[in-house]
Amino acid sequence: MKNNDTGEKIQNVIFDFGNVLVRWDIYGALISRYTPELINQFRLNELSGFEDANVLCDLGEPLQKAVELIRNEHGGIWAEMMEWYISHFPDSILGEIPGSRQLVCDLKEAGIRVFGLSNWSSDLFERALPLFPEVIFMMEDRVVSGYIHQRKPDKNIYDTAISKFKVDPSLTAFIDDRPENVEAALKVGLKAIQFKSPCQIRRSLRELGAAIPALKGEE
């Protein structure tokens, strides 16, 4: 985490969604048809090409294009799994991260604005909306990569979010579970924190001046 060198208190927090506010795991979509061992192999980009295909999805490309990328470069079984994952995508949304909703509530009660910035296929995001927990809808506004054909960690999506939300990066915390996204956020001046747990994020935001309650036992 980058320290708040200016001493000014943060006024805004931008949250990633997947595995920061909500649990997302391809396992939930695939376990109805494939063994855990095969699912673990599918997670390996060098074997299946899943991460490369997921980049296309995040950029708003047609989902079938992602399937064909895997089919052409990695083979039929992995393409078949990608198709199953896409068709059963809602099963990969496993509820909210415990503690995340109260953290957002506390931030809003303290007068801190909250936003979302997430890499997500626009098609899959629309499909998942009915299943998202309440915390996603507590955001004042959001930027989702698939709708604008920009994705983290590219600088342009951070610039888009900063402009849309009308925030000063030096007074804005950004929370994401992926280190490359955190590093990119630091480069545009955001107070970036890599997510480990809601408890850790609560402590870090308090260090940045957020007037939110401490955990009992840590006062």
Mean pLDDT of the chain: 94
Nearest to 171 by CA among 124, 112, 105, 115: 112
Helix orientation angle between 63-74 and 76-87, rounded to the nearest 10 degrees:
160
Percentage above 70 pLDDT, the chain: 96
pLDDT of residue 4 exceeding 60, the answer is no
Domain ranges, ordered by start, for the chain: 12-24+95-207, 33-87
Q: What is the pLDDT of residue 7?
A: 63
The residues facing 115 across adjacent strands are 14, 141
pLDDT at position 1 over 60: no
8: pLDDT strictly greater than 90: no
d(CA 132, CA 127): 10
pTM listed for this prediction: 0.93
**Is the CATH number 1.10.3720.10 carried by domain 12-24+95-207?**
no
Tens of pLDDT, residue by residue over 142-180, are 999 999 999 999 999 999 999 999 999 999 999 999 999
**Residues above pLDDT 90, as percent of the chain:** 91
Q: Given this model, what pLDDT does residue 217 score?
A: 80
Q: How far apart are CA 82 and CA 26, in angstroms?
A: 10
Task: Categorize the per-residue pLDDT at 218 as very low, low, confident or very high, splitting at 50, 70 and 90.
Answer: confident
CA distance 184 to 154: 7
